[in-house]
Amino acid sequence: MSNIMETKLNSATPEPPAKARMMDSKKEPTARETGEKMGEMYLSLTDKSADYVKSVRNYVRQNPVRSLMMAVAAGTVVGGFFAAITQSRKH
């Protein structure tokens, strides 16, 4: 009896068309290429960010007073911005 059910189940699920099988075979290389490209972009981005961090650190070492003044100025601007937002929400 199990052979009869197996035969019916196998006949109930049709074979995918050739076009669908061909599309599936194209998905794997495309997905692989996309993954490789994204990996390359990630490595490039991490390299660029590491270079940027190094250059900022060198600038701070060479100009400590100017760097401190820039940080204070940036903090004042950001703090004023958040204070303005907070006050506008209260009213």
Domain-embedded: residue 3: no
Entry field: residues in the chain: 91
The domain tally of the chain equals: 1
Q: Would you say residue 60 has pLDDT above 80?
A: yes
Would you state the pLDDT for residue 62?
97
Lowest mean pLDDT across 9-13, 38-42, 45-49: 9-13
| 72 domain-assigned | yes
Q: What are the angstrom distances between the C-alpha of 7 and each of 4, 14, 15, 20? A: 5, 12, 14, 24
pTM of the predicted model as reported, rounded to 2 decimal places: 0.48
Domain coverage including residue 84:
15-90
The answer to whether position 42 is within a domain reads: yes
